[in-house]
Structures are given as structure tokens and as C-alpha cells.
């Protein structure tokens, strides 16, 4: 940058609900980054951090994208107090205010953001999510992640199957059908396993300790 090396951090925060105090949380994260940086680089200048918030809501936030907005300064003293207060701006990306066709980025990034937006606006069966021209450009692994996300959403499974049947590109359609079938079979297998577990008689009761087993779920 400007003819010399520069260290730049991007702090990325994903939010599914509005947080009026998000700037304070970002500041905590930034301070932790700086403190950790100084542990390994004592005496060095602090790196610049660019905070970005992705808001995955169905409504637009009213929260200002500035830390200074958290203060309620008396008008008569604002100019005198402001130089002594920390302040920074953060980039607030609100999916609720961006039309599907206005989302920019790589094909994979565009499709991920479209699906995230559609999940909050009950539009997972709409055309922007099943844009074949865009789907043809994304890696197979990303397509599978998106398909699993859609199938795990609270929407009619038969409606998803009809949407898959309507895909005109043979390769995409076949892969979607095969993977959707695999997910369905995995779900049935998991259900049978959980059913057998719940049918087992419980002959001993123990207080859960720090090493108690826990269940993990994933895509």
C-alpha cells in the first residue's frame, strides 16, 4: 500500500438479529486482536482492522454503523467531549436491503448470500436460489452445502423435490437428485438410530459430570 508493506485485518461478524450494541462487541474483538498481536510482535505498530457485519435479517437494521452512536452526548458539550472518546465505523451489509440480482461477488459467494437472504424471507423455492446459470459455475461441494441447508429448512420436502425436477440442466438436476436422496436416506438412518436409543431401558441414573457425552449435529 502506497509503496510499502502493510498488515490489514478483516473482522467479519455474522448476525441473524439486530444488535444495537454491535459496535461495542466489535471493539472487544478488535482489542483482543491487537492484544494478541502485541504478544507476538511487541513494540510493533498495531495493524489496521476493517470491521464488517453481515446482517441476515428479513428487515433492515436501524442501528448506526458507528461506535460514537452509542454515546448520548449533551449537545453543549459534544464538541469538547468527542476528542476523548473512541470511535470507528464498520461496514454493515444488510441482505434485507439488497435485491437478489444486485448481490455481487464470485458465483459461489453470490449463491451463498442469496440462499442466506432467501432463508430469512421464505424464498428458498424462488428462482434466484435455483439460478441454473449461476449454479453451473459453483463448485460441487458448495452446491451440496446449499442443498443441505435448503433441505434442512422448514419447508415442504415435496416442494423441494419438484424444484429439483424442474432443473433443465441434466448434470445439475442429476447431481441434485442424487444428493437429495442421500440426505433423505441419512435422515431416515439417523431417525432409526435415535429411535432405538430412546427405546433402550434406562437402568441407571447418574448426575451429568464434566465428561458427560454430548450429541453433535452437522451438515
Tens digits of residue pLDDT in 157-186? 888 989 999 999 999 999 999 988 888 776
Q: Which residues contact 63 (CB under 8 A, 6 or more apart)?
A: 18, 19, 20, 22, 69, 92
Beta bridge partner(s), residue 55: 15, 94
Write out the three cell numbers for 31: 482489542
| Global confidence as pTM | 0.77
Tens digits of residue pLDDT in 84-100? 999 999 999 999 999 99
Tens digits of residue pLDDT in 1-26? 677 788 899 999 999 999 999 999 99
pLDDT band at 206; cut points 50, 70, 90: very low
pLDDT band at 188; cut points 50, 70, 90: low
Q: Decide: residue 140, CB within 10 A, 0-12 exposed, 13-18 middle, 19+ buried.
A: exposed
- pLDDT in the model for residue 3: 78
Domain boundaries, the chain: 8-97, 101-199
Write out the three cell numbers for 145: 452445502
Amino acid at each position: 500500500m502506497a509503496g510499502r508493506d502493510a498488515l490489514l485485518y478483516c473482522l467479519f461478524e455474522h448476525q441473524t438479529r439486530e444488535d444495537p450494541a454491535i459496535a461495542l462487541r466489535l471493539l472487544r474483538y478488535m482489542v483482543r486482536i491487537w492484544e494478541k498481536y502485541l504478544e507476538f510482535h511487541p513494540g510493533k505498530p498495531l495493524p489496521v482492522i476493517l470491521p464488517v457485519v453481515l446482517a441476515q435479517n428479513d428487515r433492515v437494521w436501524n442501528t448506526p454503523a458507528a461506535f460514537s452512536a452509542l454515546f448520548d452526548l449533551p449537545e453543549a458539550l459534544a464538541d469538547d467531549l468527542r476528542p476523548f472518546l473512541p470511535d470507528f465505523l464498520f461496514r454493515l451489509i444488510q441482505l434485507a436491503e439488497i435485491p437478489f440480482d444486485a448481490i455481487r461477488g464470485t458465483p459461489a459467494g453470490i449463491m451463498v448470500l442469496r440462499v442466506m437472504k432467501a432463508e430469512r424471507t421464505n424464498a428458498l423455492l424462488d428462482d434466484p436460489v435455483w439460478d441454473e446459470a449461476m449454479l453451473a459455475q459453483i463448485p460441487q461441494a458448495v452446491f451440496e452445502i446449499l442443498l443441505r441447508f435448503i433441505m434442512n429448512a422448514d419447508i415442504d420436502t415435496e416442494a423441494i423435490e419438484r424444484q429439483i425436477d424442474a432443473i433443465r440442466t441434466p448434470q445439475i438436476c442429476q447431481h441434485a437428485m442424487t444428493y437429495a436422496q442421500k440426505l433423505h436416506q441419512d435422515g431416515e438412518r439417523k431417525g432409526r438410530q435415535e429411535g432405538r436409543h430412546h427405546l433402550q431401558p434406562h437402568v441407571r441414573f447418574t448426575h451429568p459430570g464434566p465428561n458427560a457425552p454430548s450429541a453433535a449435529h452437522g451438515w
